[in-house]
Structure 1
C-alpha cells in the first residue's frame, strides 16, 4: 500500500493524478480538442473512444446477474453485443436475453476501478441516452477503498441518471428529466440520499441528441452541470456552536458520515467532507427495470422498447484536475451567481446536533405513528406488534398480543438500525415517562399483574415496578383507556441511569400473560415545555415593546373583537427597527433549546397603513446573546410567502428548528423584531397580537 501511494503521488506531481495502482494511461491528450471550463482545469484522464475496441487498460467489465441490488432485470456481460466501440463512440446496448437466461435482458456495466481512481476534479461525459419504459442509463462514481464502510457509508456520486425517457403520460407529456444524486449516511435501510432533477431547455429530450453531463467535485462541495449549466450544488454540513462551544445545530444541513472511531471503537457522526474525501472510480451502465424505473411513469418494462435493443452512446469521458490546488480541488470553480440559492442548493439529510448537556429534549416514542428510532418490540414470544387504526378515541395505536411463549414487550431503540439511547438527565426534576394504555383482552391467568420496566445503558441499570403504581394504584380495566405516569425523579431514586435510556417495557408478569391483548398510545419521555408570551391582550413587562432608533413609543391599541388589545408600532421618517426587547442591562434572555424540534416563534399581525415606499418589504429578525447570533428573513416566509395586506390579520410562524439551522443560538434569545426593511418604512403602522415562543 505504501508503494502504491508513493507511485500515485508521483503521478499527481506529473499532472496525471488519479491513475490508481501501478497502471498508466495511454491517451494522447495533445490530440484531444478540449474546451476547458476554465483555464486552470488540467486534463488528467480521458477516453475518446476513437479506436476499434474498448480500452481494457481503462475499463473493466462487470459480469453478473445480481440485479444491481435494485431488482434490475439484466445480466451484465462482456459480450461485444452489449458493449463495443464504433464511429468514435462507446455503445452500451441492452438486449433481450435468450429464453433460458437467468434474467430477461443483457447489458453492460464498465468501471475504472484501480485504473482510473480520483479524489476531486471535474468529471465529464458527452452522451446520447436510451429511451423507453424500463431504461436506466447512469454515469456515476463509487468509492475505491470504502474507507468508511460498505454502501452507502463510503458514499456514492451519481453524476447523471435518467429513467424511462420519452415515455408519455396520459396527457402526452414525455419523460425528459435527468437526475444528480448523492448517497451517504447510515447503513441500509437507514441510508440517506439527496439530489435534484433537471430538464433541458425548450423541451429537448436527452434521448434525441448528445449532451454533456458533468460534476465539479472539491473538498466539501460538489456541483452538477448539463451542457455547462450548473443546476445543483451540494455541500458538507457546517456545524453551529453555541456560546459554550457545544455543537448545537447546523448552519448548513448537507451530507454527513457515520463510522466507528479506530481508537475508541465508538460509532461517531461526522459533519465534514467525509465520505466524499477519498478516491472514487467511474462507472457507466445501462440497467433494465429495477425498483426505480419499474415503479414510475407507465411502470414495469416495455418489452417492445427493447425488442431491437436500446443503446446508451457515449462520445467521451474526461477527467480534469484543478492545477491550482489538486489536494482540495478548490480554485477552479465554474460557478454563476445564485449557485447556492434555494433553487440550486440541495438541503441534505445530516442529523442535527443538539448541545449534549443541560438541554432537555422531549422524546415521543409513539403518538399516532411509529418512531423508527424506537420500534415496538417483542422480546421472546415470536409475535410482531402492529399499528392499528380502528380506535375511535385514539386513532393509530400499537397493539401487543401475548401468546403461550413467555415474553416481555414494549419499545427498544436497541432494535433500530441505529440505536438512539435517550438522555433524560436534564429533565430529572420535572420530567416523566407517560403513556396511555387500554386492555383489550385480559390474560387468561386472573392473578397476572402488569409490569412497567425501563432500562438504560444496555440493561446496566433497570427499574421494574407494578404498572398500577403509575395510575394511582389502579389496575388496567378491559375496554378502558388510562394514563400512566412515572416521574424521572422516582426512577432515578430507584437506581436508573437517566443518561442512556434504551428500553421501555409494559407487559404482564413473566409467564402469566397468555391471551393478553393491549394497546398503547402517546408514549413519551417529556417535561412541560417552556413558553414566552411577548404580547397577548397585554404587554409583558419583562419584554416591552421597543423602538430601536426612531424615537417613537409603541402603544397598546384596541382592535377588533377577536384581538382586543394589541401592540401598535408606527414608523416615522427616521430609519428604525421595532419589536420586543428586555431592558438594557436586565440580563433577561429566553432559553428555547428544549423547544428545538417542536417550537416556533408565532404572532398575528395586521398592517394598518402601508409604508409610503411601495417597494418596502417587511422583515422578521431574531437575535440571541447580545446579537452574537441572529437570523433575518422576509416576514412573508412565515406565512407561506404572502405579504401583509392592509386591514387584514395574518398569522406568521417561524420554526425554531429552521432558525437554529440558520445559525441562531436558541439558548439565549433576547430580541424579536418585526419591521419594514431599513429606511423604507416611513408611514407604516402595524399591530401585533398573540406573540409568543412556544411549542406548536
Structure 2
C-alpha cells in the first residue's frame, strides 16, 4: 500500500506500506461490544465464488468461523511507525482492534491515544516493549508471513469496507524473502485499496503494483474501479489472478485491470559483486509473497480524518482464500477464464536502459557531459600521485599489441586517476563534473588485470571532489585474469584519514585507483560510469555552485544558473498545466513566469528546480520573497507554496490565501516557517513550488516575478 501523494510532490514521490511491525501474540477473542452488530451482517456472509472453474484448487483459506483469530495462519504487526506514509495509527494485537464474531473478522480503527514501538517488527532493533511513539488512533494489521507464502494463484477477499475521510483499508501482498532487495525492488501487489470512501474517494477501489529501483527511483502503476454497489454498504469479492509474467484484478469476478512483465522491472544488487542489474523474466513478481490485511488511518494518500469522519470504523472480512492453478502450478497459467478481452493491459513502466558513459577506453580519455543545450566532450587528464618518489611506474597508453590499456606498477603507496579539473573550451562551462544523478543507481565499472600483488596489497577505488572531500571503497580483485570490477556509488564510504566525503555535484577526479598498502602490477581498461534511465554526467555551468550565497535571486527576467532544471510541472491530467516566460504587460517589469491551469479535470503544480541540491543554510532566519499576480482565480480559493529539499524532504504547504487578485503583490515568507514545516536548508533542490487549490484549479492563470531569498 505504498502510495504517491499527488498533492505533495513535484516530480516523483512515493510513500511506504501501511504501518508495519510485530510481536508475539496469543489468540484474540471478540470484545464485549462491536461497532457493527452481528444481527446486521449475518445474512450477508456467502460461500466461495461460484464462478471459478474446477481447475482452481483451494490451497489456503480462513473463513473466520472460530472463536478467535487463528495465529497459525496470521501474525499481528505491532508498532507505531506510520507505515512510511505518515499514517496516524498504532497497530496493536488487542481485542479492541481485531477479533472474530459471527463468522467475520473485524479490524477496527479507533480514535484513542496509544503508545508503541517506533521500529518495524522486522527491524533488528525492534523492541516489542518499546513505547517511544504516541499516536491518536489505533488499528490492526495482520499478515501470513511464514505461515502462508505463495507464488502464483488467485488471492481473494470478501469484505465490506469502512468509510470516511482519512480511512484506508487494504488487502495486499509483500515478498516473504526480499530476494531483490528492500522495497520496492522485490515488489508489492495491492489487491485492494480504498481511500476516503463515501467522501472524496467516492466508491472507488484501486489495484496497484510497486516495483523498480530503490527510492526515489521506485515506480508504481495500476488503475481503479467503481463497483455498482457501494463498498461500505455491500460485501464485494476482491481478487487478483497471478501467473508468471501476468497479473489480473477483479471485483465480484469483473475483470478490470491487467499488467504484464513488459510493464514492470526491478533494478537490484546481489552478493555476486556484479553491481546493479536488471531482473530477468517476470522479476520481481516471481517469488513467494504473503498476504496482508489492514486498516490505516490518515497518511500521504488519504490525508487526515476531518470533522466528518466518525470512529470507530470497521473493515469487515467474510473470508480470505488462495487458489492455485492445477493445470500448471509451476507458472500458474491456464486457469483464468474470467478475463475480459476488451480490457487493455496497463502500460506500467518498462525497464529503462542501463546507460554507460566511458571515461577511458583503449587509451581514449574523454567523457560526454550533458549541458542545458547539448552534449559536450570533456577531455580527462590521466594523472598519478605517489607518497614517495619511485613508488609508481605508470603508462596511461600502454600498447599490448592488440589494444591500448593503462598500466601501473606499484612498489608502494600511490594512486592513478582521471581528472576533470580543467577549464572547458566552451564558454559558460566550468571545470569538474556533476555526477549527482548517479547517487541512487550509479556505479563505476572497469576491467582490471592484476598481474601480481603482495599478500598485504590493499586496493581502493575513490571519487574525489578535492581533498579531503573524497569517498572510497576497498576492492579485492583476483590475480592473473581480467576481471570486471563494479563499485556502486552508494557503497562509497567517507574519507578515513581526514573528515570529508565526495560532493557529487562537483567532482574533480571521477576515477581514482589507489594502492594503499603492499605492491602490485596491474592493467586497466574500459572505465565507465553506469546508471539507469534518465541520467548522465553533467557539465557544471560557470557560476553554478552547490552552496548558495547571499544575496540570491532565483528569477528576475531569467532563471538563475544554479536552478538548471528550470521550470517544471506535475499534473494529474494531460495538458492541465502550462508554463512559459513572457513579457509582462507592465513593460518596466520585463520578463515574468506565466502559469496557466486548464479547464479539464485535474490538479497540478509548477516549480523551479535544480538537478542537484543546494546548501542554502546562510538564509536561516531570512525570507523568501516574490511578486505574484493572479489574472484569474477560476474556481480556486487560494494559492499555496512550498520549498522542497529532495522528496520527501519538504517545508510542507504554506497557504497564502487569494494573494495577487488585485494585481502584482509582493509576498514574504519567513524561512523559519519553512524550516519548522520540515525544510532542510542544507539540501534545497526546489526553491519554489506553487499550486492553486487542489482539485479546484480550472482556468487559474497566475504570474511570478522577482523570486529571491534574503538573508537575515
Q: Which has the higher helix share?
A: 1
> TM-score, normalised to structure 2's length?
0.46
TM-score w.r.t. length of structure 1: 0.47
- When Rg is computed on C-alpha atoms for both structures, the one with the higher figure is 1
